[in-house]
A and B are shown apart, each in its own frame.
Chain A
Amino acid sequence: MTARHQESIRRITVALDASASSLAALEAALDLAAQWGAEVEGIFVEDINLLRWASLPFAVEVGHVSGEFRRSNRPDVERQLRTLADRAHAHLRRAADRRGVRASFRKVQGNVVAALRAALGETDLVTIGRGERPRTGRSGLGSTARALAAGRRGLVFVISQRVRLASPIALLFDDSAIGHRALMIAFDVARRSAQPLAIITAGERAELPEDLLDRAAHAAVELRTYHIRTDRPSRLAAMAQGISAGILVVSAEQFSPEEIEEVASAFPGALLLVGQPGS
């Protein structure tokens, strides 16, 4: 079998909310953009549901850190969102300048998931933080990341705060069209970042493209292949962690949203979810 799909990432959209995980996502997006020669767009979504809630006369929130009840209102929330947006924008500008990456910033109002899904149709890669809870340190997926993963469209790069991009790239390979697309993308990421590519297959041995070895040799990409009998997502993810991978490339169709959640819980690095191309 031969697959010669040449991916091109020219535009990366990164979802910003000034949280630690979103800023980590921004850094990773800029690193990738520098490798691919892409431009980065930061998008800050003012959640319309949040603004509606803040307009309610009885809006009360429970403080994350204090656990105390606090009355809230729309001006307060708008001010908070503005502050977060400004902070995210400033961070984007500084980090992009440092790397010499072209970057823009956009603030939109609406539903977060809808806004990012819309962005998926306009961009080559959406980068998003995992949404780790600051107090629990939980490492699964946040609701936005879960929703995007469930969409199985485009390329979604889910970044954890502990990601180490300068590490081997791991791929959970399946012999589907999306699986092959994931392979090509993983290959390119490995080539551009000069990292080894570890291909993990599970269950029935999947067949790798015939010319993969030649291409790897030509592109000076170090290939490593692993096979395990179980196809339990958490075991596959644990294996990726065992080989010290920094990025795990997964076909979005290979696993259900719950399984992707399981993979995310077991793998502390960055997840690159490869879905169907286009919107």
Chain B
Amino acid sequence: MKTIRELAVEDLQFHPPLDTSHFATTDDIEDLDGAVGQPRAVAAIELGVGMVEDGYNIFAFGLPGTGKESLIREHLKKTAKSRPSPPDLCYVHNFEDQHRPRLIALPSGAGAEFRRTMVQLVEELLTALTTALDSEEYHTRQQVINDEFKERPDRDLRAIADRAKAEGLALLRTPVGLAFAPLREGEVISGEEFEQLPAEEQDRLKERMNAYQEEVQRTLRQIPKLNRERRERLRELMREVTSLAVGHLMDEAKKKYEQLPEVVEYLEAVRTDVIEHAKDLVEPEQPGLSALLGEGAGRPDSTTMLKRFQVNLLVDHAETAGAPIVHEDNPTYDNLIGRIEHLAQLGALVTDFTLIKAGALHRANGGYLMLEAHKLLRNTFAWEGLKRALQSRRLRIESLGQALSLVSSVTLEPEPMPLQVQVILTGSPMLYYLLCQYDPDFEELFKVGADFDDRMDRTEENLRHYVQLVAKLVREKSLMPLDGSGIGRLAEHSARIAGDRRKLTLQIATIVDVLREANYLAGQDGAKTVTESHIDRAIQGRVYRADRLRDRFQEEIGRGRIMIDTAGAVVGQVNGMSVISFGNFAFGHPSRITARVRLGQGDVVDIEREVELGGPIHSKGVLILGAYLGARYSPDKPLSLAASLVFEQTYAGVEGDSASMAELIALISAIADVPIRQSLAVTGSVNQRGQVQAVGGVTEKIEGFFDICLQRGLTGAEGVLLPTANVENLVLRRDVRDAIAGGRFHIYPVDEVDQAIELLTNQEAGERGTDGHYPAGTVNALVEARLASLAAVRKDFNAPAARAKDQS
């Protein structure tokens, strides 16, 4: 028999142990400086944040709750401090093309002052204009021009009328024009009277009327030209008066901003516009309609006119120290790129440059923008918009309709903003690898991948950091301090989450949740310190809230509806172990695996696969068994059995190869007709050489079988077999450890199938001797003999057919 050392409870200790001797509570522990357990991610972030070249944006990926955002934010804060604050950004009216608002950059924090300056300047300009245009001088000169031009045609017409009257002709106003008619005694003569005039007189009158009509025509045709001249003279007068009125105010403003050529240029445009539209500014038209119709349609009202001089302070960095760090929680296309809002006026939607709203990229320009990848990708066209901005290094505010050329209505095209921003995406590894695979732009734009680990080695140094991390979290979240026992229990739970006694989890969010819940329980107890008991109750509470389904499984087994034997021995039947995961909770339970054999052609039928309940990995494991059996027990004869394997009473899919050792034992038992101990359960996969390989979920599986045995009463015979390679994964519950310590439950690590055979059958497995045979009475000898017998039978079956073939 092979020697198999069962695990002692000491083998389940954590190593190295947690040293809590140097502190009473976490209050005594200094904060952790820097990150813990993420050297790879930190190196990536340091590189990404340090690089200023294009494309060195960062994608930080890792499991949820691994502290990606807080670690990145910590690094960004340090770097951002030493970088200059970016300029404030303003949109102003473009006096040459109102549909293309101009972008003006001002030194950081100067935007608000510029906006105030413009408000004050416009107030002063209006006062100056009103005074100038109300002046006696202006009115008099305006009157002189008006009189000169208005009186001229009237005077001319009167002169014509007077001359015509002297020649016996009257100038008449018809409903639509002017006409001449011969007069007699002050009255127009009738047709009969005219006919009675001498022919020469008639001709003279007609000729004179024609001449006067032509004069009138010339006079009337001069009127448009005179009106144009009059308007031009009035405009000239207005320019002269308003230039004088606003000149010194504009000069003062330009002097204030002489270091900023963009602003000076804008102020010059303002000056020209004020002079050109002075009358509209001080004599506003009825508001509303003209605002709707726009400038081209009529004279704008004063609100519209004055709005042109407003400053839309898009990004104000007055309160920003260093480079900005912006986190956009809702990264829609508009929230990233910015948007142009509209107002409803008289049933139509109108907009102007004051309705341009900044996006996160505007606010983060010159600094850093943090986004969650899954939110970004979920928002229609947000990812495309971000990529376009990063690729072109210009931020152009346009609606989705514009960007996709879906609408062509007149709207604004604000001047694009040069973009210098570093984007940091956070997300899951799956998203990262999918983007790498399917988006050709991704690796070009996100050259730095920061891979966040979800666990770290349990070294002495890391344990110290772990304690510091817990202390920091406790203080950050304003929780009660933990004593040494509390931290010890938390570290144990961390190992369990990591699934390895030599590791500690880095899923900080889960640790924080446990800390918060323990803090609550401690508060309920009126305690001042969180202890092991509070942490333990918090963990148990989390399990209790999630384990209804596990209870249901155990109940079904307890009531015999799911058949599991934990005593006696049965041929071809073994207790395998499965794990069910849902949400963030997983539990194990035993599953009965049975095997039946008969004469056949070497087929090992996986019933799960036949009914499409078995996954590919499970099928692979079963196929390996056939190969193992044939190679080990029947290397020179056809494997002449037909075997079937089944997971009894499973009604959902089975996946994974962790039951392949159990399936092999069941097969061997069935072939050799050797019963298997039902007090033991088995997990582990086997390869073609019969070596036992590591599997997952061993802690949950053992606890699942333990719970069933405990339910029925531990006799001291119960236990489990698992791959030796999995021993370090065991982070068992205290009650399981206590049972092991008391010899009431056993864990047997095995490296090869024969060890498992001996443990499960209480018979020697047997080594093939120098004579090529297994020792008589051993399990392997029985297997070999049975297979040889089946091969012989098969040969006999095939003999008549062979003979018939020879004769033919």
Contacts and interface: CB of A to CB of B under 8 A. Distances in A.
Given A49-B181, A49-B188, A84-B175, A135 B223 contact: yes
B154 A138 contact: yes
B216 interface: yes
A50 B154 contact: no
A147 to B, nearest CB: 12
Contacts of B181: 49, 52-53, 56, 59
B566 to A, nearest CB: 105
A138 B150 contact: yes
Given A69-B213, A135-B223, A52 B187 contact: yes
Interface in B268-308: none
A67 B176 CA distance: 10
Interface in B167-192: 170, 172-179, 181, 187-191
B176 A63 contact: yes
A62 B172 contact: no
Nearest to A57: B191
A139 B177 contact: no
A77 B174 contact: yes
B280 to A, nearest CB: 20
Nearest to B189: A52
A2 interface: no
B712 interface: no
B520 interface: no
Interface string B681-692: 000000000000
A230 interface: no
B96 interface: no
Contact of B174 (A50, A69, A137): A50
A102 interface: no
Contacts of B189: 52
Contacts of A64: 176-178, 220
Interface string A40-53: 00000001111011
Interface residues of B, number: 30
A62 B179 CA distance: 6
Interface string A112-142: 0000000000000000000001011111100
Contacts of A60: 179, 209, 213
Given A52-B187, A55-B190, A56-B191, A138 B177 contact: no
B598 to A, nearest CB: 113
A49 B619 CA distance: 118
B779 to A, nearest CB: 119
Contacts of A4: none
A70 interface: yes
Contacts of A240: none
B194 interface: yes
Contacts of A57: 191
Nearest to B179: A61
B153 interface: yes
Interface string A59-93: 11111100111101000010011001000000000
A146 B181 CA distance: 21
B184 to A, nearest CB: 10
A247 to B, nearest CB: 21
Contacts of A47: 172
B206 interface: yes
B177 A55 contact: no
A13 to B, nearest CB: 21
Nearest to B155: A138
Given A55-B190, A135-B223, A49 B172 contact: yes
Interface string B198-225: 0000000010010001001100110100
A77 B172 CA distance: 13
Contacts of A53: 172, 174, 179, 181, 188
The 5 A-B pairs with the shortest beta carbon distances in the complex, nearest first, are A53-B181, A61-B177, A61-B179, A49-B188, A80-B175
20 contacts: A48-B188, A49-B170, A49-B187, A49-B188, A50-B172, A52-B188, A53-B188, A56-B194, A57-B191, A62-B178, A62-B217, A62-B220, A64-B178, A67-B220, A67-B221, A68-B217, A111-B187, A136-B223, A138-B150, A140-B154
Interface of A: 47-50, 52-64, 67-70, 72, 77, 80-81, 84, 111, 133, 135-140, 265
Given A50-B172, A64-B177, 14 more contacts: A48-B187, A50-B174, A52-B181, A52-B187, A52-B189, A55-B191, A56-B194, A62-B178, A72-B174, A77-B174, A77-B175, A80-B175, A136-B223, A138-B153
